[in-house]
Structure 1
């Protein structure tokens, strides 16, 4: 079964913006996934992530970011690495555009980066 795991916001200052949401809503930081370009907050049912602009390049979105004004991305978790590989062609057949084919990230997730038919960024993820 697929589940929404994260909504990630691209932020100029990940520390300040994630701190804002911590202060206003009391969300706890997920310190185990902290990096110089990322902060994650546990919202109780899913997570809210904050990516520094460096993540555009990491995700293969550098060319898209300026022209499309990309400010967020949806993260859909699936049950296996094979499920990522299965769902990418399904997404393409349904009108998605592949930005980055399935790969293993430096933080040990297997994921693909795509645009939906309206140009919104989403990832299909499996945490290894």
Structure 2
């Protein structure tokens, strides 16, 4: 199941208002990372199911290391932490680039990140 789709934006509040106003999505409280200063995000939803993660990172926009706006990653829920761990082992054994080993994130997700064959970021969550 797709857990969420992550989109970077230069104007977090404007993009959040767009999805709330035109698509009746509801937002959680703004997350501000203590580990990565300048990173802020919202999760928006229609209720249960797939969510939309809106993100901004001031240093990202300034550095041009990655696109400052647009699609950033897909996240798939595999059910539990054990399945996350097992899938990461399998992907590593099959030669895929693991960008982040399983861990708890600051916004309370247990996740790992892998690159798909085209280099797209895929988060694997519980």
TM-score by length of 1: 0.75
- Would the aligned equivalents of 1:64 and 1:70 in 2 still touch at CA under 8 Å? no
Name the CA distance, whole Å, in 2 between partners of 1:55 and 1:101.
Answer: 23
Report the equivalent of 1:109: 109
Match status 1:92 vs 2:88: no
Alignment of 1:1-128 (within 5 A): 3-31=1-29, 34-36=30-32, 37-44=40-47, 45-53=49-57, 65=66, 71-94=71-94, 96-126=96-126
- Report the CA distance shift for 1:98/1:28 in structure 2 as closer, same or farther (over 3 A): same
Query: Tell me, which stretches of 5 or more residues in structure 2 are unaligned?
Result: 33-39
- Would the aligned equivalents of 1:10 and 1:50 in 2 still touch at CA under 8 Å? yes
Secondary structure at 2:118 match in 1: coil
Return the offset for 1:22: 1.3
- Report the CA distance shift for 1:114/1:63 in structure 2 as closer, same or farther (over 3 A): farther
Query: Tell me, which stretches of 5 or more residues in structure 1 are unaligned?
Result: 57-61
- Would the aligned equivalents of 1:95 and 1:117 in 2 still touch at CA under 8 Å? no
More helix by share: 1
Q: CA RMSD in A?
A: 2.6
Name the CA distance, whole Å, in 1 between partners of 2:79 and 2:103.
Answer: 16
Secondary structure at 1:12 match in 2: coil
Return the offset for 1:55: 9.3
Return the offset for 1:94: 4.8
Return the offset for 1:43: 3.0
TM-score by length of 2: 0.76
